[in-house]
Amino acid sequence: MKAWDEGMSTRIVALLIIAALASVGTLWTINPTGSASESIFAVFLAVDLLSFAMISYIYRGSKGEDGIGRLPILAGCVLISILLFVGFLA
């Protein structure tokens, strides 16, 4: 049983791409010489990698028979939100 239809998957992927683009834009503006900047860089890189993993999961789930689970998507979105919050706080 599929949890979401094609339109919902497209909207989630679009939001993940926006979060990844915001993260990449922030990565480009960070001064990489300080140790604090290295930590912030790691946080935003984690956002990019998690976004890519979630987009891959949505694609694979939409093509397969099992569908997309709500719990993995919710957990990923919460983790991305926490990482973005931590990244912009520091």
Give per-residue pLDDT as tens, 13-57. Answer: 999 999 999 889 888 888 777 777 888 888 999 999 999 999 999
pLDDT at 1: 43
* Cα–Cα nearest to 47, from 12, 14, 74, 85: 85
Print the domain residue range for 41: 6-89
* Cα–Cα nearest to 76, from 52, 45, 54: 54
User: H or E element: which one contains 18?
Assistant: helix 6-29
Token readout for 61 is 């789930």
| pLDDT band per the 50, 70, 90 thresholds, residue 66 | confident
Residue with tokens 């706080």: 89
What is the pTM assigned to this prediction? 0.84
> Could you give the number of structural domains in the chain?
1
Q: Say if 1 falls within a structural domain.
A: no
* Entry field: residues in the chain: 90
Residue 67's identity, in one-letter code, is G
Q: Say if 81 falls within a structural domain.
A: yes
